[in-house]
Every structure is written in C-alpha cells, then in structure tokens.
Structure 1
Amino acid sequence: MAVPFLKGNNHLYRSNTWPGVVVSLESELKQPHIRISLPEQAASISSAISGGGFVSLDHIVNRYVDKHYDCSDPVNDMSNFMAVHDYPAESTAGLMTAVKLKYASIREERSEQASILCCTTAGVGNAACAGSSRTTFAAYQPGTINIMLLIDGMMTPACMVNAMLTATEAKAAALHDLGVKDHETGAVATGTTTDAMVLGVSGNTAYGVNHHYAGTATDLGGMIGRLVYESVTESIVSEREGRI
C-alpha cells in the first residue's frame, strides 16, 4: 500500500501496520531530516553512520545535507546533530542523504505473519555497478539510496541478515527496471556509491511466528522485496521528475 507522505503540507504519517510508529518530516529546522519514532526499542541491524551494527533502536533519523557537505568527520558531526536535537545517541540510527527529503516514499503491508513499513529516499546521481572496475573513494559521503525497513514481528538474527540481502536484491531490481546505469562504466547499476540501510524488528509475539528465513521464497521475503522495490522506484521517479 502506498501512503500519501510528504506531499503538500502533510509532514506526518502514523503507521497502519506497526501501531505507535510515527514518520515525520522535520522541515522547519535548520537541519531538516526525516524522523521515525518507534513506540519502544526494536532490535536493529544497519550500516548507519551513527547507531550502526547490531543495536536496539527507538529512533531513526535520515538527515539532509547538501552536495557540498564536509565529509571529513561525519561521525562526530552526526553526534553533534543528535545532541542538538535531543535524540538519544545510544538508541538512534543516523543516516545522511543528499536527496531532497520531499522525494521520500513510504510503503506498508500487513500479513498474518508480520507487518512491514519501508521508507526510502533515493537518488541515482552516483549510480554504480558492484563488481565492475571503477573509481573508489576513501572518504565518507552522504547516502544516496537510504532504506529504512521496519518489521513488526519476530525474526532471528540470521533472518535479519537475510532480510537485508533480500532488500538489497529488490533495490538492484528496481534500478535495473528503471534503466539506471553506472555513470562511469555504463553497466546496469546495482546501487549507488553511498547507499545505507536500517532494519528494525519489533519482536512482537502476537503473530505467533519466529521467522528464521527472509529470502524470496518466503512470504516474509516476498513482502520485503515488494515494498523495497516499490519504495525505491517511487522515490527515484519522483526525484527524476521533480513532481512533488
């Protein structure tokens, strides 16, 4: 299900699939960002610049920075950002993006085994094909495709890793179907040079299932793939057309 988020004056969305989850666009601040607030801490795995790895989270922040952002010390800079905005450093994942936040996309789906919300900001200005010989960089740069994936249900740690793999495959499929190319090699892009992802899992026992697998052969993996594919696609198309 697509949801009408960040269009017009609508800067707040309350999840229909994970009660208590709120996604908001903090656009009036000096440092605009998307904030996802969870009703209680969730198990997480992520590649976030702050709050990454296996941790427990109750906030996810996707912060906008312009293309001239000073990347010399992003960890300390994000720590200062968290402090200024009173986000708990120990339970907040912090991402950065150079994509305008108005191009964000949210997709949700509920099933008898789990419920999922996916929020994506995506641009392809630095699209790249993993595995091809191309220029690499030592310095950190803000993310271009940032995927925030929230799953209400139970998953083993191995299943969480499996979910990240499925989400990454869905992202690559969306780029393929949109005809996105590596700007340096001309190969079909699999992502961009600065992608990031956060997965949060509630541990809710009400569904009665503890998921061990999240590959594309499973119902859970199918949901993850659909929502990530649709969310990445919508955000890229919106950013391309500048239609919001």
Structure 2
Amino acid sequence: MKLMELPGGDTLHHYKKSLVLCFAGPRDVLSTGPIGGGFRTDLQAVFNNDCNPGAGMSCELRADTYEEHMKLLALEDLGLDPKHCTGLATAASMHNVSIKTMDYEDFSVTAIVTGGIRINASRVGDPAVWHEKAGISDPVKPGTINIILHIDAALSPGALARALVTCTEAKTATIQELLAPSRYSRGIATGSGTDGTILIANPFSSTYLTNAGKHCKLGEYIGKTVKEAVKEALDRQSGLNPAFQHNILNRMDRFGITEDAVWRTYLQRLSEKEKNLSPFVRAEFEDRLSQICRENTLVTYTSLYAHLMDQLDWKLLSPEEALPAGKQLLNLAKIPTDDHYSCSDNQDPIAKMADFYLQGLVELLMIKR
C-alpha cells in the first residue's frame, strides 16, 4: 500500500511488514544498515522491516549472519535488489510509525520513525553484552529506534555526515526529555543498543546546502522533525510518554526501586501475625502502592531526588552535599526518614540514597494501612 509521496517524487509504501521508500531518481544515502551501508549514490530504495514474529517470540535470522538475513529479506519478501538498497530491522510494528514533515523556504525534511526502548534502552558507555568476532553477533534484547530521514535538498558530503550527528542528537534529546531509563545501568538512556539511521538527500535539487548543524535552518528542522517523530513513535509502540513517567516507580526503577523490591521490603517489615492475617496481603499492598504512585507531590519530589542522585553519579555534587539535600526532599515528600540518614566512606552513596528512599516508601505504605 502506498502511504505517501514525498517532496522530490520518492514514494513510501507499506507491505510485508515493512516500510519501503522507493526513489524517483538517484539519491545520496548515508546508512547504518548491514547491507548498502555507508555513503552510497547507487541505491534505488531503503526499507525498515518489522522482524517480530509475534508476542513473546524472538526474532529469528534466516541466515548465519544479520547481513545475509537482510539480503534474503530484501530479495524474497520486498522484491528489492540487495546490491542497490539498504535497510534496517526492528521488533517495532510498522503500524506504529510516526511520520513528520516540515517545509522551509527551499527545502523539506521528513522523519519516518519507529521505536520501542522499554526493554533495550541503554546509555552510551554502558557495559556491553558481546564482542563481535568474524561478523558473528550475539542476540540482544528487542527494542530499537529506527530513523529514515529524507531531506529534499542537495547536500555536500560533509553536510550529510553532519545531518547524521544532528539527527542523533535530536533522538537523544527526546529520550532524555522523557527520562527513559537505561536497562543496563542506573543512567538515563541515550538510545537503544540497536538503533539504526538512514539519511537521504536529493542531489538534483536546486537547493544546495553545506551545513546541517544546530545554528542553521536545516539543522533546526532536522531537530524538530526527528524529536516530534521519535516522541510519537515511542508513545505509539510502548506507551512511553509524560503520563507514563508521572509515576514514582517509573522514575526510580533504574535505581532498583521496583514494585517487587518494595514488596519484598514491605513483607520483611510485617509481623508474622500480620502476614497470616489476610490472604489478600499482596492485593492490599498493590492497592495502596497504586494509590500513591502518581500523587503529584510525591512524583515531584521523587523526580528531584532522582536528579540529585544523577548529579552525584556525574560528580557534579559530593555525597556531603547530596545526602542532606536528599533527606530534605524526602521530608518534603512526606516520606519518613530516620536520624541515620548518612553514608560511610566504604558505601556507595547512590545505592545508600536508593535504600533510604526504599525504606521510607515502605514506611509510608505502613502508615497508610
């Protein structure tokens, strides 16, 4: 099915669980894809494929390598010449794509984005899970932000490369505005571990641009379209949005403050008599926790507490500065603290602050029984 015609005559189609962008003429393409990757001027199409076989099922390769798998996919499913196309794969549904176009005086920018990072979000520099050897890669968790960025203007090679940097900055800025947590560390994510990007420019456009940085209009429009599309795609695919993040557990789970962790600590605090008093102890706990998780004041001060921990992690604040401020924030949030809110030299101050929050939250739940 044809979805739209882009400026310059290129057409976007949806079939075989893929989005396929067919070129109306020669294009300059910069791609991170496993086939047709790098800078190319001889491609006829680009694509983004949903490789998810179904809920709870893992993506399976048709060949020994990802590259060979993508060649077979292009040829057998999409009817494309693997030598003259490039593509990306994802577990996100193409039905959840976000397409944003912005026009300026003599150029246009279109961002075509799919994305889901609730499982595979990571922060650049996080511990890796595998090392590539001879082209063989290990399977990773599903979750990818794939961006096809179409620019209806002729770009110098340097501008095309700079556009990739601006596009990536826009993606990362969006994720940080959502405070999406890394699933490999206690940091805020900057993307997923498997993100892919394809940039397309029209060398026959009458508009020739040599800069795509943040101070020029092209850079501004790349930033705006990509940010809007990434935010919408993440919402559509997995419900990652401001409303979802207005929850103390969603703000704090990267520090180990999860529903199960709160339950285990809560259970430890109950007496044996209380544990045996009702067969619905867990149900009653869940009800009380859900009642406070989205309380405005609690979410507000929890967010500040998490940011305090981040600044401690980034060495912008010392433990001597962060811990007293953290206690004040918990007091403002009406989360109980004791007189032993301190940290010894041999303790991780961030882990200690997380434990103070956990213990105080459980105490708050006990009070609200």
Instruction: Decide: shared fold, TM above 0.5.
Output: yes
| 1:115 alignment counterpart | 108
Asked if 2 retains the 8 angstrom alpha-carbon contact of 1:74 and 1:140, the reply is no
**Structure 1 unmatched runs, 5+:** 1-10
Choose between structure 1 and 2: higher helix proportion. Answer: 2
| Structure 1 length-normalised TM | 0.86
Asked if 2 retains the 8 angstrom alpha-carbon contact of 1:50 and 1:93, the reply is yes
Provide the identity percentage: 25
**Structure 2 unmatched runs, 5+:** 241-369
Deviates more, 1:219-228 or 1:90-99: 90-99
Asked if 2 retains the 8 angstrom alpha-carbon contact of 1:143 and 1:196, the reply is no
2:67 is the alignment partner of 1:75: yes
**Divergent runs of 4+, >6 A:** none
2:88 is the alignment partner of 1:95: yes
Asked if 1 retains the 8 angstrom alpha-carbon contact of 2:12 and 2:20, the reply is yes
| 2:148 alignment counterpart | 148
Write the deviation string for residues 159-203 of structure 1: whole angstroms up to 9, x where unpaired. 111000000000000101112110121211111000000001111
| Structure 2 length-normalised TM | 0.58
Which one-letter code corresponds to 2:29 in the other structure?
Answer: S
Distance of 2:200 and 2:83 partners within structure 1:
15
Asked if 2 retains the 8 angstrom alpha-carbon contact of 1:95 and 1:143, the reply is no
Distance of 2:127 and 2:71 partners within structure 1:
34
Distance of 2:98 and 2:232 partners within structure 1:
6
Deviates more, 1:61-70 or 1:210-219: 61-70
RMSD over aligned Cα atoms? 1.9
Tell me, what secondary structure is at the counterpart of 1:68? coil
Matching residue within 229, 234, 237 for 1:236: 234
2:55 is the alignment partner of 1:42: no
Tell me, what secondary structure is at the counterpart of 2:105? coil
- Count of residues in Structure 1 that have an aligned counterpart in Structure 2: 225
Structure with more contact order per residue of length (Cα contacts < 8 Å, sep ≥ 6): 1
Going from structure 1 to structure 2, the CA distance change for 1:75 and 1:135 (only over 3 Å counts) comes to: closer
Distance of 2:111 and 2:172 partners within structure 1:
16
| 1:63 alignment counterpart | 49
Shift of 1:137: 5.1
Write the deviation string for residues 194-217 of structure 1: whole angstroms up to 9, x where unpaired. 00000011113323xx21110111
Distance of 1:228 and 1:235 partners within structure 2:
10
| 1:131 alignment counterpart | 125
Write the deviation string for residues 49-104 of structure 1: whole angstroms up to 9, x where unpaired. 11111112221111111262235411111111222132022221111111111111
Distance of 2:107 and 2:226 partners within structure 1:
15
| 2:175 alignment counterpart | 175
Going from structure 1 to structure 2, the CA distance change for 1:140 and 1:133 (only over 3 Å counts) comes to: closer
Distance of 2:143 and 2:67 partners within structure 1:
14
Deviates more, 1:83-92 or 1:187-196: 83-92
| 1:13 alignment counterpart | 3
Deviates more, 1:36-45 or 1:133-142: 133-142
Shift of 1:13: 2.3
Distance of 1:185 and 1:213 partners within structure 2:
35
Tell me, what secondary structure is at the counterpart of 2:106? coil
Greater C-alpha radius of gyration: 2
Write the deviation string for residues 105-160 of structure 1: whole angstroms up to 9, x where unpaired. 10101112321111001110200000234544531657711100011111110111
Tell me, what secondary structure is at the counterpart of 2:99? strand
Which one-letter code corresponds to 1:162 in the other structure?
Answer: R
| 2:39 alignment counterpart | 54
Distance of 2:51 and 2:203 partners within structure 1:
33
Which one-letter code corresponds to 1:212 in the other structure?
Answer: T
Choose between structure 1 and 2: higher strand proportion. Answer: 1
